Amino acid sequence: MNTFTSRDGTKIAYDVRGSGPAVILIDGAWCGRNMGPMPKLAPLLAPHFTVYNYDRRSRGDSDVSTDYSPDREYEDLAALIDIAGGSASLYGTSSGGAIALFAAARGLPVDRLAIFEPPFTDVPGGRPMPRGYQVEVERLAAQDRRPDLAKYFMVKMIGMPSIMMPMMRLNPHWKAMLHNALSLPHDTAVMEGYGFPTEAARSIRVPTIIMSGDKTFRQLKEPVRLARETIPGARFASLPGQSHDAAAELVAPVLIDFFSGADTARAAA
Q: What is 222-245 written as a DSSP string?
A: HHHHHHHHHSTT-EEEEETT--SS
Whether the predicted pLDDT of 247 surpasses 90: yes
Contact 200, 105 (CB under 8 A): yes
Q: Which of 1, 52, 2, 63 is nearest to 27 (CA)?
A: 52
The model's pLDDT over 88-134, given as tens digits with 9 standing for 90+, comes to 999 999 999 999 999 999 999 999 999 999 999 999 878 899 999 99
At 82 the pLDDT is 98
Residue 198 carries which DSSP code? Answer: H
Determine the Cα–Cα distance for residues 191 and 161; give it in Å rounded to an integer: 23
At 263 the pLDDT is 62
Q: Kindly calculate the radius of gyration of the chain based on its CA atoms and give it in whole angstroms.
A: 17
Residue 63 carries which DSSP code? Answer: P
**How far from 29 is each of 49, 54, 158, 263, CA to CA, in Å?**
25, 13, 11, 30
What is the average pLDDT score of the chain?
A: 93
Q: Which of 94, 77, 56, 91 is nearest to 183 (CA)?
A: 56
Query: What's the distance, CA 87 to chain centroid?
Result: 18
When comparing pLDDT for 265 and 233, which is higher?
A: 233
Q: Which residues contact 175 (CB under 8 A, 6 or more apart)?
A: none
Contact 65, 71 (CB under 8 A): no
Q: Which residues contact 265 (CB under 8 A, 6 or more apart)?
A: none
**How far from 97 is each of 19, 37, 113, 117, 143, CA to CA, in Å?**
23, 13, 9, 7, 28
% residues pLDDT > 70 (the chain): 97
β partners of residue 92: 26, 115
Residue 34 carries which DSSP code? Answer: T
When comparing pLDDT for 248 and 265, which is higher?
A: 248
At 125 the pLDDT is 79
Query: Which band of pLDDT confidence, cut at 50, 70 and 90, is reported for residue 262?
Result: low
Query: What's the distance, CA 225 to chain centroid?
Result: 18
Domain assignments of the chain as residue spans, ordered by start: 2-125+191-268, 133-187
β partners of residue 226: none
Q: Which residues contact 256 (CB under 8 A, 6 or more apart)?
A: 45, 48, 262
At the second CATH level, the architecture of 2-125+191-268 is 3-Layer(aba) Sandwich (3.40)
Determine the Cα–Cα distance for residues 19 and 17; give it in Å rounded to an integer: 7
Which H/E stretch holds residue 116?
strand 110-116
Spatial strand order in the sheet of 235-239: 2-5, 11-18, 50-54, 22-26, 88-93, 110-116, 208-213, 235-239
